[in-house]
Structure 1
Amino acid sequence: MNDTSHHDERIAKMTFASVYPHYITKVEKKGRTKEELHQVIFWLTGYDDNSLQKVIDEKHTFQDFFQNATMHPNAHLITGTICGYRIEEIKNPLTQQVRYLDKLVDELAKGRQMDKILRTI
């Protein structure tokens, strides 16, 4: 993989609130719900409704978002390609965590069963 430090820095400074509406649009356009999106986010990060709303209201960066998250112990089971990168090969931990979330949102939008998205089977 090429030097991605500029890309990693850009992701770190991006606010979760700026991307969140795109997540909602993506899953709802494919017939999934905001509640299902929240279930995926809560599973990955340990956030709940109140803490997620605080992140959005206070415009936390992805760096802050994941720094304050409690990552699910099975997050490492999220593999595959997202945005042209193999998730398991991403060296920067923050970028990898953001791509974990992107992958879960993609799986939700593609109609994958929730138990598979949440790596329970």
Structure 2
Amino acid sequence: MDKVQKSLPINDKAAQRLKQKGFIEGRKPNYFISSQIARITDKKAQYTRNKGLDTELLKSFILRHIDIHGYATRKEIDELLMDKMPDYLDEKQRKKRIENILQDMRNDTIKNIGSRKVPKWVKKKD
């Protein structure tokens, strides 16, 4: 547990035991303490930062931004969401997660009226 709290690597067997007991969450190598342990150790805010926000909530941030400003560039979306991603993700992983969210939204709620290099996201008309 100490290694997980200090973000140090742990072996697979230890990770498996801690996960089975409900002490840790996440995927190798990005394990973090579970909500149960966070409550006991008064690390609830850290747990929430590690867990990140729900994808639907992140999508609502994008839609709200578009409602207010008419459109959103990728740079604006990155600025809006980067600090809301889980703490254990590095910058490249955060950008990929945002890309996945945009890709998912493209299927039903938003469209790109800009170029591939300089996207400009707007809401789709029903």
Q: Same fold (TM over 0.5)?
A: no
Name the larger-Rg structure. Answer: 2
Q: TM-score, normalised by structure 2?
A: 0.28
User: Which is bigger in relative contact order (C-alpha 8 A, separation at least 6)?
Assistant: 1
More strand by share: 2
